[in-house]
């Protein structure tokens, strides 16, 4: 086997459940002999086949079926969701969005299905032959991802690249080259920036660069292009924030103060 010969399989969770006309006893072999699994950080879909004791799929299109996820140790209900009819007789599905499990710790939980008939009755849907209406579901955290840390540049980290004392037309300061999305070459790349002025008067510009290596620091370097140009403030100390989309390797702030300074730049991408 070569190092690249890895097999992947489509992930599928399909569960058979039993409905009974009198809702008293389910005389059937175990319907679910496996533990359900859902993964944090992803959307999850569970499909349920609704059968009778003879394992015949039942038409439940006129019924409202609900799935309830709860913590079996504390009894706390995490959520209740209406199941979607798939269009196939006797088949419904539970869709769990990524956000449904964000605040759920990994571990073993329980799930049960109930149905509301057209007459308004709320009835159980059995999961096994012992009249149990709940079954285990394991929440896993294999896809947990830590957000990228906020990048910062404080006032002492600004570099002065032009100086009126040296005969330049203005005083220009630039931050270091903050990382853009150089490791994730997405076509849609959002960045949020917070710029903290300190009684600042003057202009500043948000710039980006697509060069592979660290770009030139000069204010007029062709390594950089403007994303947001010439934001003008007068004796301002209110945080300026902006969210923009750019596919670039580096981002910086170029400042041209006539009074005050920018005390902090924060960037998330």
**Interacting residues of 87 by C-beta distance below 8 A, sequence separation 6+:** none
Q: pTM for this one?
A: 0.55
Write out the H or E segment, with its range, that includes residue 263: strand 250-268
pLDDT tens, 181-212?
876 666 678 899 999 999 999 999 999 999 99
- Residue 143 or residue 173, greater confidence: 173
pLDDT the model gives residue 1: 40
**Residue 253 pLDDT grade (very low, low, confident, very high; cuts 50, 70, 90):** very high
**Residue 32 pLDDT grade (very low, low, confident, very high; cuts 50, 70, 90):** low
Dmax of the chain from CA atoms? 94
- Report whether 203 contacts 224 (CB < 8 A): no
DSSP 13: -
Q: What percent of the chain has pLDDT over 90?
A: 59
Burial of 267 (0-12, 13-18, 19+ CB in 10 A): buried
């Amino acid at each position: 086997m070569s190092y690249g010969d890895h097999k992947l399989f489509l992930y599928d969770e399909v569960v058979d459940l039993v409905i009974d006309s009198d809702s008293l006893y389910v005389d059937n072999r175990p319907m679910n002999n496996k533990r359900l699994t859902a993964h944090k950080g992803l959307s999850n879909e569970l499909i349920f086949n609704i059968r009778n004791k003879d394992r015949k799929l039942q038409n439940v299109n006129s019924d409202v079926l609900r799935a309830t996820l709860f913590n079996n140790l504390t009894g706390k209900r995490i959520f209740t969701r209406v199941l979607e009819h798939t269009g196939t007789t006797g088949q419904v599905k539970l869709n769990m969005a990524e956000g449904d499990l964000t605040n759920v710790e990994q571990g073993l939980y329980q799930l049960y299905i109930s149905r509301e008939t057209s007459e308004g009755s709320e009835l159980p849907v059995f999961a096994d032959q012992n009249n149990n209406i709940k079954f285990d579901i394991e929440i896993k955290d294999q896809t947990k991802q830590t957000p990228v840390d906020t990048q910062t540049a404080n006032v002492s980290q600004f570099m002065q690249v032009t100086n009126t004392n040296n005969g330049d037309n203005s005083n220009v300061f630039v931050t270091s080259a903050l990382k853009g999305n150089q490791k994730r070459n997405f076509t849609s790349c959002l960045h949020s920036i917070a710029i903290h002025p300190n009684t600042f008067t003057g202009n500043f510009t948000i710039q980006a660069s697509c060069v592979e290596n660290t770009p030139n620091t000069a204010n007029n370097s062709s390594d950089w292009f403007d994303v947001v140009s010439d934001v003008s403030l007068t004796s301002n100390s209110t945080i300026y924030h902006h969210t923009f989309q750019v596919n670039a390797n580096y981002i910086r702030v170029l400042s041209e103060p006539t009074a005050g300074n920018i005390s902090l730049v924060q960037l998330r991408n």
